[in-house]
Amino acid sequence: MRQVAPPRTYRVKSFGCQMNVYDGERMGELLAERGLSVAPEGEDADLVVLNTCHIREKAAEKVYSDIGRLRREDGSSPLIAVAGCVAQAEGDEIMARAPSVSMVVGPQAYHRLPEMLDRATKGERATDTDMPADAKFAALPPRGKGGRRSGPTAFLTVQEGCDKFCTYCVVPYTRGAEISRPYADLIDEAARLVDAGAREITLLGQNVNAWTGEDSKGRALGLDGLIRELAKLPDLQRIRYTTSHPNDMTEGLIAAHGEVGKLMPYLHLPVQAGSDRVLKAMNRSHTVESYLKVLERVRTARPDIALSGDFIVGFPGETEAEFAETLSLIDAVGYAAAFSFKYSPRPGTPAATMEGQVAMEVMDDRLQRLQAALSRDSLAFNRASVGKTCDILVERKGRHPGQWIGKSPWLQSVHFEGESRFGEIVTVDLAEAGPNSLAGRLVERAPA
């Protein structure tokens, strides 16, 4: 590769989960520290970071087509870095297949992006998919450095990696073993985010409720302990966390839902399937019954909690009767929201070579029926909110002049018209409901 001028502008494109969004922001901060600025909308960037996701099929193919699309009319390309989970899983292939890529960096190594960039401008290509435990966070610049502002809602990765090894999933391979970030670092990062303007923080982890730490007196803490401490930050109004594993819903965390007012009444607790045989083949290590028991306890602690889940249809060997059990589970729970996917065989995972791979037409049909049931329930949940008065955290402007969009405590998108500003909490009467959002009427603004 030839030498290039040091880049002045960058663009980070993140795909996949919220942890990738968080990583994308942190990479942006690293580049900003190097003096790069975000490329203005509609303009080419000198450096493009594709922060990729490997969770389902075609992810890698998408990376190659994205790389192709970056080619400019004169045949040149910007500097390209491929980051994220496809970089981790297929870094060498990317380097071999895509000569315009000069950097491949895994999710645990991106703190080294600036050094890689120096080498890339000298014409050297580099791959870094090491997984040094913990090193990354310590090497990143502090949040809010140089007066960088945060939006009203911010992500904070508290836990990374996964030791659960569900048989369909690539995450344990792409993100590595479970690690919890130290308590003091998290309190510090949260305080900085709040100082920079955040009013809501969502704590992130592949298994966020497996987070453990120690307070300054050496006492062991779980996620609930961290949440209780964060709730003491005066300007922080709302706390959320995602994604949780059913087996890590501790008594303390469940109790926190009833006791910590700033902890929002929303729980995303993936179940994947409603058949114990399928759950076992997935290595989920919970049953339908144990999952429902957890939900019951959470609902006892916080009766108005909104529940959400993830579902996979067409796991190898799933029969029509087993799929029907998933529909029954959905009927029993009444989810406020959910994500659902067709099973996608991932190279290197045990399920990919299991017998009884389900035909695409069958998966299409099951997904359609599943999603019909889920959208019926989310519409019912939203309709049941009509007539309530609730607090909305204002996040952005709507499409129409004078329109604002924010979130209810139950993570519903609510739009309303009137005077407002970002980051403000306003009182709104919920007036109309659709499956994905609600319309409200502004009642009052909190005193500034």
Q: How many CB atoms lie within 10 A of CB 116?
A: 21
Q: How far apart are CA 390 and CA 16, in angstroms?
A: 31
105-144: contacts with ligand F3S (CB under 6 A)? none
Which position among 71, 165, 184, 421 is part of the footprint of ligand SF4 (CB under 6 A)?
165
Which position among 155, 168, 241, 381 is part of the footprint of ligand SAH (CB under 6 A)?
168
244-283: contacts with ligand SF4 (CB under 6 A)? 245
For ligand SAH, give the closer residue by CB, 194 or 336: 336
169 binding ligand SAH? (CB under 6 A): yes
What are the start-end ranges of the H helices in 5-121? Answer: 18-33, 59-69, 84-97, 113-121
On whether the CB atoms of residues 40 and 159 are closer than 8 A, the answer is no
What sign results for the dihedral spanned by CA atoms 276, 168, 24, 227? Answer: positive
For ligand SAH, give the closer residue by CB, 56 or 388: 56
Q: How far apart are CA 294 and CA 254, in angstroms?
A: 9
For ligand SF4, give the closer residue by CB, 207 or 326: 207
On whether the CB atoms of residues 363 and 342 are closer than 8 A, the answer is yes
- Which of ligand F3S, ligand SF4, ligand SAH, none is residue 150 near (CB under 5 to 8 Å by kind)? none
171 binding ligand F3S? (CB under 6 A): yes
Tokens 């389900």 belong to residue? 358
Q: How far is the CB of 390 from ligand SAH (least distance, A)?
A: 28
Closest CA to 83 of 116, 58, 44, 57: 116
Q: Residue 95 contacts by C-beta under 8 Å, 6 or more apart in sequence?
A: 101, 104, 125, 127
341 binding ligand SAH? (CB under 6 A): yes
Q: How far apart are CA 297 and CA 256, in angstroms?
A: 12
Which position among 14, 206, 209, 349 is part of the footprint of ligand SF4 (CB under 6 A)?
206
81-100: contacts with ligand F3S (CB under 6 A)? 84-85
Where along the sequence are the contacts to ligand SAH (CB under 6 A)?
A: 55-56, 162, 168-169, 171, 206-207, 243, 245, 270, 272, 310, 312, 341, 343-344, 346
Where along the sequence are the contacts to ligand SF4 (CB under 6 A)?
A: 162, 164-166, 169, 171-172, 206-207, 245
